[in-house]
Amino acid sequence: LHQAAPQRSVPRPCVYPFLGSVDAIGFVNCYRRSAEIFAEEEQVKYFYRVVSGAVRTYKTLENGRRLITAFYVPGDAFGLETRGEHRLSGQAISASKLFLIGRSAFVARAARDSRIANQLWTHTAAELQRVQDHIRLFAMPARERVAGFLVDMAKRLSADGEVELPMVRQDIADYLGLTIETVSRSLTQLEDLEAIGIRASRHILLRNYRALVQLST
């Protein structure tokens, strides 16, 4: 792991729609592949929104395993916490541009503007729903978990019937609570079932989306 330091370009303040329709003042920052965005137990300084690239948040467990809690792609906001400390680590999966806004300023604005307060709540509730969907995957066998993961990614990343996954197999495995071998075998099975096609390891063809959805429900 060659941990790259956050590549802080000149922080040019700018306005950006942050949550929903709320514009917020912040700046764009660039991160290299595998660069750390924030670490567990670190003070929460910013809220983030992905402009380009992709981000993973994760927790390192005592047994050394890594549990990836979420992937974020362009348009997604993340890093919102009510408490002062980060409970997760955040890393750039690939070279990424993020929009940052100061936490304290944003929370202060929420105290004055009930629309912003409502969006903070709504966003956290959406995150809650996402985690509940995530936990649902753990109640399924391996192939169904992988199918569910692909459906989720397809919804968020696919224009036509193809997905370009930003993450490697190890990331998928740590997200689904499986090993890379099992993820790989499950993908091969889905290909044998003609539900997907594997053009390249990260380039997935959605041959039978309906079948994927059926497996993942």
* Residue 212 binding: pick among a second copy, DNA, none (C-beta 5-8 Å cut-off by kind): none
Confirm or reject binding of residue 59 to a second copy (CB under 8 A): yes
Q: Where are the alpha helices (DSSP H) in 34-80?
A: none
Per-residue H/E/C for 147-201: HHHHHHHHHHHCCCCEEECCCCHHHHHHHHCCCHHHHHHHHHHHHHCCCEEEEEC
Q: How far apart are CA 65 and CA 32, in angstroms?
A: 23
- How far apart are CB 93 and DNA at their closest, in Å? 11
Confirm or reject binding of residue 112 to a second copy (CB under 8 A): yes
User: Based on the number of CB atoms within 10 Å of its own CB, is 68 exposed (0-12), middle (13-18) or buried (19 or more)?
Assistant: buried
Confirm or reject binding of residue 40 to a second copy (CB under 8 A): no
* Residue 41 binding: pick among a second copy, DNA, none (C-beta 5-8 Å cut-off by kind): none
Confirm or reject binding of residue 39 to a second copy (CB under 8 A): no
* Residue 169 binding: pick among a second copy, DNA, none (C-beta 5-8 Å cut-off by kind): DNA
Of all helices (H) and strands (E), which one includes residue 52? strand 46-52
- How far apart are CB 169 and DNA at their closest, in Å? 3
- How far apart are CB 85 and DNA at their closest, in Å? 29
Confirm or reject binding of residue 124 to a second copy (CB under 8 A): yes
User: Which positions lie near DNA, rule CB under 7 A?
Assistant: 141-143, 168-170, 177-185, 187-188, 198, 200-202
Confirm or reject binding of residue 210 to a second copy (CB under 8 A): no
- How far apart are CB 163 and DNA at their closest, in Å? 13
- How far apart are CB 200 and DNA at their closest, in Å? 4
- Of 24-32, 71-79, 109-117, 182-190, which part binds a second copy (CB under 8 A)? 109-117
**Which residues, at least 6 apart from 113, have a Cβ–Cβ distance to it below 8 Å?**
none
Q: How far apart are CA 7 and CA 78, in angstroms?
A: 19
Q: How far apart are CA 36 and CA 98, in angstroms?
A: 12
Confirm or reject binding of residue 111 to a second copy (CB under 8 A): yes
Buried residues in 157-191 as b, exposed as e (16+ CB within 10 A): bbeeeebebbbebebbbbbbebeeebbbebbeebe
The contact set with a second copy (CB under 8 A) reads 59, 61-63, 65, 67, 69, 81-83, 87-88, 110-112, 114, 117-118, 120-122, 124-129, 131-132, 134-136, 138-140, 177, 217
